[in-house]
């Protein structure tokens, strides 16, 4: 590149610090998910909810599994596809990026549901364990849709501890974890948890206390059992402002770790609005320790504020960070970055770019952001003082590993001469080792940018 200035390409780092906590926002999903597909699948994926609970799977007296009168599994065979040919692919796609969904559960039970009475009869008859119709039907369901993580127990009638313990132990052996959805009869749920823990700990991953309908008078503080994470639920049509206040109180005063809603079964409410609010209250599933820009709900940097790192963000990604669709009215951009907002998901439609703060977006994309891209602004080599950057890169030529020393945390990218990024990542202050053994021999460019440095250098690999 003799004596020619070259441009440091914008590097798209998509690293985000994902919290280790259990998914914190969820929604029950009724048969509407099948009746109005594929729109319902698209809406769920972009909602911001981290877990969905499919309502419901009914256990018949012979161990068959049904829903809404249609058979799901019978005699160890998955037969639901005869009437619902898209169901498997639809449920699997809920976890396929871009999506906010991390976990899928199936609900067994509900008001008027006789599943746990039938489970008790099968238990009494010795028709529950390996080889039984019940076992084989849940086994083939798991094999057909391995994305199903857990069984949600919404027993509202049976309340028989021994058969429920045996059932959930069997489900654990088949690969299904357990969550519980009580609204009354705490002694039963305590007995179920204790019974399971005596055999095997860790089967019950969450308690979801119903604070609506029959459980409207429940105080979540009364439902902490065996130190199991507690979520509390509201109805989907309850007042939005009240829901915010109630859930904030649950978190602040009642040691509740997440919120859920009953039930997505029509198009009368805004899933994304409610889900992103729950995420902001209880802690968004995605956060960043390297913010590139901050987005605000209101003009003049008012309302909620959410920071994003460098990268590309679909509606679902925005929701996972806690940004509601079409809800950005001002933004702050860190030096060296450029933000582009789009009024459609998948980076389509009208778009507006910003390389500095905007305290009021009334004329430039107010309340339209449905997807966002954040990139480093190009920097020419003439603007980079490599001699004073405090960076050492060796050996050069390099073979299996490259050593990089920096005086601060930074980001790097190794690009080929066409500008394609081959390897990228983060650097810690001090010595770093980068594996380059899979790069073909040739000439590359390495770019490094930190708070105090911008660095570019030619790099020879494999000679």
Please report the pLDDT score of residue 16 as a whole number.
Answer: 30
Has residue 288 been placed in a domain? no
Has residue 226 been placed in a domain? yes
Has residue 71 been placed in a domain? yes
Same domain, 330 and 443: no
CATH number at residue 447: 2.60.40.3080
Same domain, 239 and 364: no
Helices (H), 255-373: 271-282, 315-321
The rounded distance, in Å, linking the Cα atoms of 186 and 215 is 12
Residues in the chain: 463
Residue 114: alpha-carbon gap to chain centroid: 33
Same domain, 439 and 313: no
Same domain, 64 and 164: yes
- Residue identified by tokens 């749920």 is 189
Same domain, 151 and 48: yes
Same domain, 337 and 424: no
Same domain, 298 and 337: yes
The rounded distance, in Å, linking the Cα atoms of 27 and 258 is 11
CATH number at residue 155: 3.20.20.80
Domains of the chain: total: 3
Please report the pLDDT score of residue 388 as a whole number.
Answer: 60
Please report the pLDDT score of residue 1 as a whole number.
Answer: 31
Positive or negative: CA dihedral 279, 285, 286, 288 = positive
Please report the pLDDT score of residue 7 as a whole number.
Answer: 34
Please report the pLDDT score of residue 123 as a whole number.
Answer: 97
Domain containing 335 equals 293-376
What is the SS3 assignment for 238? coil
In order along the chain (463 residues), what is the average pLDDT of each group of 10 residues?
A: 32 30 83 96 97 97 97 98 97 97 97 96 95 97 98 96 98 97 97 97 97 96 97 95 97 97 95 96 90 95 95 96 97 89 95 94 92 77 58 92 91 80 86 94 87 83 83
Q: Report how far apart, in Å, the C-alpha atoms of 409 and of each of 121, 167, 219, 365, 424 are.
A: 62, 51, 46, 33, 14
- Strands across the sheet with 430-435, in order? 392-394, 401-406, 430-435
Same domain, 66 and 151: yes
Has residue 14 been placed in a domain? no
CATH number at residue 321: 2.60.20.10
Are the C-beta atoms of 90 and 38 separated by less than 8 Å? yes
Same domain, 57 and 140: yes
Please report the pLDDT score of residue 14 as a whole number.
Answer: 29
Are the C-beta atoms of 164 and 121 separated by less than 8 Å? no
Has residue 3 been placed in a domain? no
Look at residues 376, 393, 414 and tell me which one is the last residue of a structural domain.
376
Burial of 200 (0-12, 13-18, 19+ CB in 10 A): exposed
């Amino acid at each position: 590149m003799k004596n020619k200035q070259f441009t440091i390409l914008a590097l798209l780092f998509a690293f985000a610090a994902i919290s280790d906590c259990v998914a914190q926002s969820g929604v029950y999903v009724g048969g509407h998910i099948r009746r109005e597909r594929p729109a319902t699948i698209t809406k769920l994926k972009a909602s911001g909810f981290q877990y969905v609970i499919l309502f419901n799977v009914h256990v018949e007296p012979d161990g068959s599994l049904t829903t809404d009168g249609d058979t799901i599994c019978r005699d160890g065979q998955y037969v639901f596809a005869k009437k619902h040919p898209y169901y498997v692919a639809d449920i699997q796609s809920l976890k396929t990026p871009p999506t906010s969904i991390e976990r899928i559960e199936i609900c067994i039970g509900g008001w008027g549901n006789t599943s746990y009475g039938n489970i008790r009869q099968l238990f009494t008859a010795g028709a529950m364990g390996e080889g039984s119709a019940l076992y084989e039907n849940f086994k083939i369901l798991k094999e057909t849709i391995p994305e199903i993580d857990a069984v949600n127990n919404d027993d509202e009638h049976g309340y028989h501890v021994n058969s429920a313990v045996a059932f959930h132990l069997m489900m654990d052996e088949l690969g299904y974890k357990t969550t519980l959805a009580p609204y009354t009869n705490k002694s039963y749920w305590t007995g179920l948890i204790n019974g399971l823990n005596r055999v095997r700990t860790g089967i019950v991953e969450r308690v979801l206390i119903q604070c609506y309908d029959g459980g409207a008078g429940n105080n979540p503080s009364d439902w902490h059992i065996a130190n199991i994470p507690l979520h509390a639920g509201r109805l989907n049509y309850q007042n939005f402002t009240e829901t915010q206040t109630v859930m904030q109180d649950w978190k602040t005063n009642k040691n509740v770790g997440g919120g859920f809603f009953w039930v997505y079964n029509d198009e009368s409410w805004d899933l994304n609005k409610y889900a992103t609010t729950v995420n902001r209250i209880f802690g968004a599933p995605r956060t960043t320790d390297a913010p590139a820009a901050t987005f605000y709900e209101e003009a003049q940097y008012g309302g909620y504020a959410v920071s994003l790192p460098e990268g590309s963000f679909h509606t679902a990604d925005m929701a996972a960070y806690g940004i509601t669709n079409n809800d950005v009215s001002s933004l702050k951009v860190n030096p060296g970055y450029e933000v582009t907002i789009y009024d459609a998901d998948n980076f389509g439609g009208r778009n507006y770019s910003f390389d500095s703060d905007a305290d009021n977006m009334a004329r430039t994309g107010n309340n339209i952001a449905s997807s966002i891209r954040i990139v480093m602004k190009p920097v020419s080599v003439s603007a980079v003082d490599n001699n004073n950057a405090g960076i050492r890169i060796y050996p050069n030529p390099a073979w299996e590993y490259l050593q990089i020393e920096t005086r601060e945390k930074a980001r790097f990218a190794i690009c080929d001469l066409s500008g394609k990024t081959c390897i990228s990542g983060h650097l810690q202050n001090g010595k770093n080792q980068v594996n380059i053994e899979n790069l073909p021999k040739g000439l590359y460019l390495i770019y490094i940018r930190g708070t105090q440095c911008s660095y570019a250098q030619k790099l020879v690999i494999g000679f």
